[in-house]
Amino acid sequence: MLQFSFSKKLLIWAVCAIGILMAAPNLFYTSVEQSNDAEATLATGVPATPELTAIAGQWPAWMPSALVNLGLDLRGGAHLLAEVQVEDVYAERIDSYWPEVRDALRAERVTIGTIRRQDGADTDLRVRISKPEAMDTALAKVRALASPVASLSNVGATDIDVSAEGADIIVRLSEAERLATDQRTMAQSLEIIRRRVDEAGTREPTIQRQGDRRVLIQVPGIGSAEELKELIGKTAKLTFHPVLSRTSDPDTRVQSRQILLPDAQDQGLFYVLEKTATITGDHLVDAQPSFDQNNQAAISFRLNPTGGRVFGEYTASNIGQAFAIVLDEEVLSAPTIQSHIPGGSGIITGQFDVAESTKLAIQLRAGALPAKVVYLEERTIGPELGQDSIDAGALACIVAFITVLIFMVLSYGLFGVFANIALIINVGLIFGLLSMIGATLTLPGIAGIVLTIGMAVDANVLVFERIREELKGGKNPVRAIELGYERAFSAIIDANITTLIAAVILFVMGSGPVRGFAITLGLGIVTSVFTAIWVTRLVISIYMERRRPKEIEV
Amino acid sequence: MRLKLVPSDTSLDFFKLSKMTLGASALAMIASVVLFFMIGLNYGIDFKGGTTIRTDAQNPVDIVAYRAALEPLGLGDVSITQVIDPAAQLTGATSNVSQIRIEAQEGAEAATVETIKAVKNALIEVDPTMSFPQIDSVGPKVSGELIQTAVIAVVLAISAVLFYIWLRFEWQFSVGAVAALVHDVVLTIGVFSLLQIKFDLAIIAALLTIVGYSLNDTVVVFDRVRENLRKYKAKPLKDVLNQSINETLSRTVMTSVTTLIALISLFVLGGDVIHGFVFAMIWGVIVGTYSSVFVASAILLRLGVKRDWDKIDDGRAGTQFANIDA
């Protein structure tokens, strides 16, 4: 029992050494972090300046350089949980079927009569035919437009549901198509949020999809959740519409396929516009902050070839007419077309300041969010509070650690020292593992480490108490130690597995800081069992071999 | 000279007063349930929705003035408390920190930028030195889900443990252990109701840790019971239990003390952000230690254990699959 084969000894020491080596960079957190950043900058191909090389050299390249990630509550930053209003997209999707439906029905004019699009719920496409008796023919024609949806769960499903209501044909998105649309909307939203956050140059943002329609955004180092929200900002949906009239009455009734939108600055001004946009933000290839001829902040834009052609044709045939530049349901400006604008570039004026035009240009360049986002949860932690938490947590850790060390020596003497060696290695292993798996350390996570320090000695205590009992029973030292380990084993395993069960459930069910706690608690259990069973025993075995004491006192 | 928290040989009778202790535990549990329904928990925004703002200023916290400044904003229920940090008091550092809680606003999921700006401006007018190191806002939709997940997590943890103990011991042990767990969780909820400490997500984590810790203790005692049942086949169950508890008493106290040392240093030095969390765990360690002796074992004694297992199998009484050897 007390004899270790050479290979086993080597394995135990190797595990300890690797763990502590992995943990080492965390002792020099700031300089390692700077060095890592500098190396990352160099890796992007930036020419090496002496300063950069010097910073990169702060930490030797042959040492492991993975650090424990600090959670938002320790580093400071902002956290947002956003929900994407995926339904927003349904109206647009169904709208895009209109030309097809119209053309298909027009071909059957003789049997079904004239057709007219009706206003209805946004998610429906409603078409009235003047000869309702031919409804079956009309339905068959529209149904023929349906195409299959590629999805795993709905084999054979098509994209639209077509039904009749009196003289109206109603086209809706099918359930399968809605799911597929949701998936696309989420993927796009995620991508665009990521681009917008990245454009602002913040470091290590976390942008994750959660569940069906949520996005978790965590950005360390940013001042507040409000700032982050402004960065992600508006939908930034840019469209150009022909202007039909201006009015000051917000209750103006508009005809079907027209919309009434307010002016962005002028409180009492409203525009009646054609609902269908001439140009949309999808045609945009570039947007930059710039200035207009009056030196006012503005945004210059460039359209792709298709957009440029449409814009050119439209301006050529509508000289003298006004068109509205609409951003997120507000009219930024409504200039009158002076001349044909070829080439597809132009400038958007409005009452911006430079900061706004810069932000808006970023958002336009990153692309419009396909749907609105609503924020369900937002948290801001100031960097000072984070630093305070680190300091407080570190102090508590150290005090707890030293007190437990002293307490163990007082209670178990030399064996207490053995347990302490294991405890020190244990903490090293926890940090090593945390760095290795790239886990995130949170404030509750620090609490988990402190708790582990308290509980880690438990396995050793179990063994030592057992050894005492065996010694009292008249066994010789070696035999007592062997029996102590043997008999305490099942209690150690059972007791730790039950705690591990709780930690695993916390990890699976928890989120954010709670999850951080579960990680350190779980790792702490594993490492404390390892150190108690192998490391302490190995140390005791070495002691017994070297000294061969006739009597031991535990 | 060794530090000994417990004399080397004890032979205390833990069941002499078992009627009283079980009665007291039952009473405390009933009281907790009553408190829970009468006063209720002081749910944090994680579970209720709303916004909390932490303020930090050079001047002392003036709750009355803060309240007066926020009154005109019409935010509904607003609670303002001063945050007291024992570490700061020890070192004599000034800490003028307060925590302002605003209920979830009608119609909005999380707080709007405007609401937060209005609150900040109103407070800065009272005290221009004020900064806002932490702002949390949780919408009612998420908070509802968080409650649900938390309850599921606790129930899941207890059932998983019930199953594990049943696998490793006999069902009577399992019932005893789980009774102790429920006892600990209920009493913790009672204390949080009574003292009105903020009950948030971190407390759920603490509850689950208490479950783990309490069990740890119970399992160690039970492990010894299992062993002694094998050893002393004729001894009455009560004596076996008493002997097992006495034999493990030294370890029980040692581990509780080292854990408490760690937790108390965290409570005093770890900053006010995790106070509630650490308090729950300190409470849990004390209650958990008590319950593993006075609830788990007492219930095991009342349920009895089948003693003639060894006649059928190979002498491993009180066990089903415990064939682990070191």
Task: Tokens for A495, please give them.
Answer: 């007791």
Give me the number of domains chain B comprises. Answer: 2
Task: Report CA A475 to chain centroid distance, whole Å.
Answer: 60
User: Is A446 in Cβ contact with B270 (below 8 Å)?
Assistant: yes
Residue B244: burial class (beta carbons within 10 Å; 0-12, 13-18, 19+): buried
In one-letter notation, the amino acid at residue A351 is: Q
The amino acid sitting at A538 is L
Q: Report whether pLDDT(B63) > 70.
A: yes
Q: Note whether residue B154 is domain-resident.
A: yes
The domain A6-26+383-547: what is its CATH number? 1.20.1640.10
CB A400 to CB B262 under 8 A? yes
Which residues of chain A does B208 touch, with a Cβ-Cβ cutoff of 8 Å? 502-503, 505-506
| Rounded distance between C-alpha atoms, residue A145 and residue A99, angstroms | 11
Nearest CB neighbour to A461, from listed B110, B152, B254 = B254
Band (pLDDT 50/70/90 cuts) for residue B314 is very low
Instruction: Select the CATH number that applies to the domain covering A238-351 from these four: 3.40.220.10, 3.40.50.2300, 3.30.1360.200, 1.10.260.40.
Output: 3.30.1360.200
Q: How many CB atoms lie within 10 A of CB B30?
A: 12
Q: Which residues of B touch A409 (CB under 8 A)?
A: none
Instruction: Report how far residue B117's alpha carbon sits from residue A210's, in angstroms, rounded to the nearest whole number.
Output: 28
Strands B131-138 and B97-102 come out as unpaired
Total CB pairs under 8 A between chain A and B: 241
Is B4 inside any structural domain? Answer: no
Among partner residues B152, B250, B273, which is closest to A509 by beta-carbon distance?
B152
**What's the token pair of residue A437?**
């798996």
Two structure tokens written together for A523:
């790792």
Given a cut of 80, whether residue A529 has pLDDT beyond it is yes
Averaged over A137-153, what is the pLDDT?
78
Q: Which of A229, A495, A513 lies nearest to residue B113, judging by beta carbons?
A: A229
Residue of B nearest to A442 (CA): B274
CA distance A243 to A257: 13
Measure B243 CA to nearest chain A CA, in Å: 13
pLDDT at A192 over 70: yes
Distance CA A425, CA A415 (A): 16
Report how far residue A538's alpha carbon sits from residue B4's, in angstroms, rounded to the nearest whole number: 26
- Assess whether pLDDT exceeds 90 at residue B308: no
Domain range spanning residue B307?
A: 18-42+143-312
CB spacing of A498 vs B322 below 8 angstroms: no
Q: Are B241 and B302 in contact (CB under 8 A)?
A: no
Report CA-CA distances (Å) from B315 to A118, B145, B222, B233, B309: 84, 50, 17, 10, 7
pLDDT band at A203 (very low <50, low <70, confident <90, very high): low
- Tell me, yes or no, whether B154 and B280 share the same domain: yes
At A39 the pLDDT is 84
Cα(A88)–Cα(B89) distance, rounded to whole angstroms?
54
pLDDT at A172 over 80: yes
Which backbone phi and psi does A396 adopt, to 5 degrees?
-60, -40
**CA A496, CA A445: separation in Å to the nearest integer?**
18
Is the separation of the CB atoms in A280 and A325 below 8 Å? Answer: no
CB contact B95 to A (< 8 Å): no
Closest-CA residue to A493 (of B156, B220, B187): B220
Of A479-483, B89-93, B126-130, give the lowest mean pLDDT range.
Answer: B89-93
Q: Do B223 and A408 touch (CB under 8 A)?
A: no
**Structural contact between residues A494 and B219, judged by C-beta atoms closer than 8 angstroms:** yes
Range 259-318 of B in CB contact (< 8 A) with A = 259-263, 265-266, 268-271, 273-274, 277-278, 281
- Indicate the residue of B54, B152, B201 with minimum beta-carbon distance to A514: B201
Contact B161 A498 (CB under 8 A): yes
A291: closest CA of chain B, how far (Å): 29
Instruction: Look at A491 and B224 and tell me if their CB atoms are within 8 Å.
Output: yes
Q: Do B101 and B158 belong to one domain?
A: no
- Report percent pLDDT > 70 for chain B: 90
**Which CATH number does A88-177 carry?**
3.30.1360
CA dihedral for A184, A187, A190, A192, sign (positive or negative): negative
B235 shares a domain with B122: no
Could you report the per-residue pLDDT of A64-104, keeping only the tens digit for each?
888 888 888 888 888 899 999 888 888 878 877 887 888 88
pLDDT of residue B260: 92
Is residue B315's pLDDT more than 60?
no
pLDDT tens per residue across span B264-286 = 998 988 888 888 889 999 999 99
Q: Is the residue at B11 inside a domain?
A: no
Distance CA B110, CA B137 (A): 6
Token readout for A269 is 């001004």
Q: Are B261 and B205 in contact (CB under 8 A)?
A: no
Per-residue DSSP letter, A260 = E
Tens of pLDDT, residue by residue over A277-326, are 888 887 888 888 888 888 888 888 888 888 888 888 888 888 888 888 88
Query: In this structure, what token pair is assigned to residue B133?
Result: 């190191």
In a domain, B320, yes or no: no
Identify all chain A residues contacting B322, using CB atoms and an 8 Å cutoff.
490
Q: Do A455 and B258 touch (CB under 8 A)?
A: yes
B171 and B115 in a common domain? no
What is the rounded CA–CA span in Å between residue A282 and residue A221?
A: 32
B128/B273 same-domain check: no
H helices present in A144-234, as ranges: 175-199, 225-232
Q: Give the residue-averaged pLDDT of B32-60.
A: 89
The pLDDT of residue A236 is 77
Final residue before a domain boundary, out of B138, B169, B197: B138
Q: Is residue B195 part of a domain?
A: yes
Same domain, B152 and B292: yes
Among candidate residues B138, B172, B188, the one where a domain is terminated:
B138
- Residue B221 belongs to a domain with what CATH number? 1.20.1640.10
Q: Of all residues in chain A, what percent carry a pLDDT higher than 70?
A: 97
Residue B227 falls inside a structural domain: yes
Classify the C-alpha dihedral A509-A512-A514-A517 as positive or negative. positive
Model pTM? Answer: 0.78
**Per-residue pLDDT, A325:** 87
* Phi-psi label, residue A341: left if phi above 0, alpha if psi -120 to 50, beta otherwise: beta
> Where is mean pLDDT largest: A233-247, A279-293, B281-295?
B281-295
Averaged pLDDT score across all residues of chain A: 85
Residue B64 sits in a domain whose CATH number is: 3.30.70.3400
Nearest to B220 among A374, A393, A491 (CB): A491
Quick one: average pLDDT of A194-220? 82
- Confidence (pLDDT) at B290: 93
**DSSP secondary structure letters along A440-480:** EE-HHHHHHHHHHHHHHHHHHHHHHHHHHHHHHTT--HHHH
What gap in Å lies between CA A449 and CA A459, rounded to an integer?
16
State how beta strands B42-43 and A115-118 pair.
unpaired
Nearest-angstrom CA–CA distance, A64 and A431: 13
| Alpha carbons B94 and A76: distance in angstroms, whole number | 22
Same domain assignment for residues B95 and B221: no
Asked if the structure places residue B319 within a domain, the reply is no
Residue B117 and residue B185 share a domain: no
Where is the domain boundary, B117, B138, B159?
Answer: B138
**B221, B258, B316, best to mutate vs chain A, most A CBs in 10 Å:** B258
In a domain, B323, yes or no: no
| B194, B119: one domain | no
pLDDT-derived band at A151 (thresholds 50, 70, 90) equals: low
Q: How far apart are CA B265 and CA A396, in angstroms?
A: 5
Q: Which helix (H) or strand (E) holds A35?
A: helix A29-43
pLDDT the model gives residue B312 = 45
**What local confidence, expressed as pLDDT, does residue A420 receive?**
92
Residue A202 C-alpha, separation from nearest chain B C-alpha, in angstroms: 20
Residues B221 and B153 in one domain: yes
Q: B108 and B192 share a domain?
A: no
Give the residue on B whose Cα is nearest the Cα of A378.
Answer: B137
Encoding tokens for residue B192?
């949080």
Of B247, A48, B278, A295, residue with least CA distance to A40: A48
Tell me phi and psi for residue B58, to 5 degrees.
Answer: -80, -35
Is the pLDDT confidence value at B183 over 90?
A: yes
Inspect the interface and report whether the beta carbons of A411 and B254 lie closer than 8 Å. Answer: yes
Contact A375 B139 (CB under 8 A): yes
C-alpha–C-alpha distance, residues A289 and A297, integer Å:
7
Q: Residue B29 pLDDT > 90, yes or no?
A: yes
| Torsion sign (Cα): A148, A150, A156, A159 | negative
Bridge partners (DSSP) of residue B42 are: B198
ipTM of the complex: 0.82
Q: Which of A215, A405, A458, A483 to mutate: most B Cβ within 10 Å? A: A458
CB-based contact B223 A489, cutoff 8 Å: no
B122 with B149, same domain: the answer is no
The winner for highest mean pLDDT among A226-230, A354-358, A437-441, A528-532 is A528-532
Question: What is residue B313's predicted lDDT score, i.e. its pLDDT?
Answer: 46
- A290 vs A265: CA distance, rounded Å: 20
- Residue A227: pLDDT band by 50, 70, 90 thresholds? confident
Of the partner residues B3, B5, B156, the one whose CB lies closest to the CB of residue A505: B156
List, as one string, the DSSP characters of B158-223: HHHHHHHHHHHS-HHHHHHHHHHHHHHHHHHHHHHHHHT-EE-HHHHHHHHHHHHHHHHHHHHHHH
What residues contact B270, with CB distance under 8 A and at least 6 apart?
Answer: A392, A393, A395, A396, A446, A447, A450, B87, B278
Q: Helix or strand or coil: residue B114?
A: helix
Spatial separation of the C-alpha atoms in residues A5 and A537, rounded to whole Å? 13
- Range(s) for CATH 3.30.1360.200 in chain A? 238-351
Sole residue written with tokens 């960079």? A25
Residues in chain B closer than 8 A to A510 (CB atoms): 153, 201, 204-205
Amino acid at A216: L
Shortest CA gap A296–chain B (Å): 27
